[in-house]
Amino acid sequence: MPSPTITLVTVTPNPAVVGQSVTVTATVIPLGAGTPTGTVTFTVAGATPSTQTVNLTGNTASATFTNLGAGVHTVTATYNGDANFTSSTGFNSVIVIQGQTTTTVVSSPDPSQLGQTVNITATVTPIAPASGTPTGTVTFVITGVGGGTFVQPVTGSGQATLSINTLGVGTHAITAIYSGDPSFLPSAGSDTQTVTPGPSPTTTTVVSSPNPSVVGQPVNFTATVTSNTPGSGTPTGTVTFTIGGTGGGTFTQTLVGGQTTLTLSTLGPGSHTVTAVYTPDTPNFTTSTGTTTQVVNAANTTTAVTSFPDPSTVGQTVNYVAHVQSVPPGSGIPQGTVNFTVTNGTNTATGSGTLDGNGFAVFSDNTLPAGTYTVTATYAGNASFNTSSGTDTQTIQP
């Protein structure tokens, strides 16, 4: 008859931590002469795999189990017997506790500039002999203006990342608190983030008024410079206006309250490209450029005509004088030619005169017979001034 046996089970280490391998050893004690042979089947609840069968060596057998979660796991070792010895089963249990962790936190870039996005990363690492990848959340606590409390999930890499661009200028203390999970204990880490008052991007807009305008009319070119979100503050420095075309040029103005205005009345007719370039006077703001187009039309005119002497006598030289003026809001002295017509329907004299620097043109004639004549002076106009005409009467006596 086969002799009975007793199987004893030990587990090392016990307790273990999550991720740590445990070794289960069975010792088979014969209750009779001889040495048991054969195999032992081990079962550890919750392990992967949970069952292993191992050959006896002497009167012992051992197996190693991994992937045990936190908790109490039942361990069973069954000696399967042989021709001389009967089978027997031993029991034990292994306690697996949560693994300790460390949490480290870094921020990048550090230092950063005002309004720049900062990536804050917490890395949760098991402390040996624990192993595995922690899960759960990390709570970031950031002091100072623009900080606060933010909860981020721990990803499969054991990291949690927060991206933030609201931090104000100065040094911010950062604490990253790992929440723990069923397998790993909580931990915390800290860092600091420095935000410098880096240059804020800006936008420059330029408008002109009135647009369109006429030749000689004052035009206001206004540039407004603003700081872009998340930057703040009122830009200071200068704006350089470059205005193309006749009467334009380059002009530099000082910003006051983020705005400056250039007034010009020298622009010639046509379309003028306007560029405004902001140049900061501190490192807090970046340069920027705005553009627009100004259209200048020809100005209207009035023409007045007089003659002297009036009345005159046949054969006497008569001077016909035209005066051409620009009509507000246009300004300036028109240039060009005035055409004169003196007629009574039967007799006609024509001629022309060139406007002088004061806007006057003269036509002289002594060929007309006696009569009453209508005098018409017509300004021919040019690119800058529109045409116009005026009338008067002249009496020529016998």
Domains of the chain, residue spans: 5-97, 101-196, 202-297, 301-397
| Architecture in CATH of 202-297 | Sandwich (2.60)
Task: Please identify which residue in the block is written with the tokens 């030990």.
Answer: 10
Residue 218's pLDDT is what?
Answer: 97
> Using an 8 Å Cβ cutoff, are 121 and 161 in contact?
yes
Looking at residues 263-273, what average pLDDT do you find?
97
Q: ∠ CA 142-143-145 to the nearest 5 degrees?
A: 110
Asked if domains 101-196 and 202-297 share a fold, the reply is yes
Between CA 67 and CA 246 the distance in angstroms is: 85
pLDDT at 199: 81
CA-CA distance, 78 to 43, in Å (whole number)? Answer: 9
Helix, strand counts (H, E) of the chain: 0, 32
Average pLDDT over residues 264-293: 95
Mean pLDDT of the 148-162 span: 96
Query: Is 163 within 8 Å of 119 (Cβ atoms)?
Result: yes
**What SS3 state is found at 248?**
coil
CA angle 252, 258, 260 (to 5 degrees): 35
Is residue 230 very low, low, confident or very high in pLDDT (cuts 50, 70, 90)? Answer: low
- Provide the CATH number for the domain formed by 101-196 in this structure: 2.60.40.10
Q: Is the pLDDT of residue 283 over 90?
A: no
Angstrom distance (rounded) from CA 340 to CA 316: 18
**The predicted structure's pLDDT at residue 284:** 79
Q: Please tell me the distance from the alpha carbon of residue 362 to that of residue 355, in angstroms, as a whole number.
A: 8
Residue 156 has pLDDT above 90, yes or no: no
Provide the percentage of residues in the chain whose pLDDT is more than 90.
92
- The pTM score is 0.57
For the chain, the average pLDDT equals 95
In tens, the pLDDT along 170-229 reads 999 999 999 999 999 999 999 999 998 778 889 999 999 999 999 999 999 999 999 987
- Residue 169 banded pLDDT, cuts 50, 70, 90: confident
Q: Are 42 and 52 in contact (CB under 8 A)?
A: yes
Asked if residue 374 lies in contact with residue 345, where contact means CB atoms within 8 angstroms, the answer is: no
The CATH code of the domain at 301-397 is: 2.60.40.10
Architecture in CATH of 5-97: Sandwich (2.60)
Question: What is residue 250's predicted lDDT score, i.e. its pLDDT?
Answer: 98
Per-residue pLDDT, 197: 77
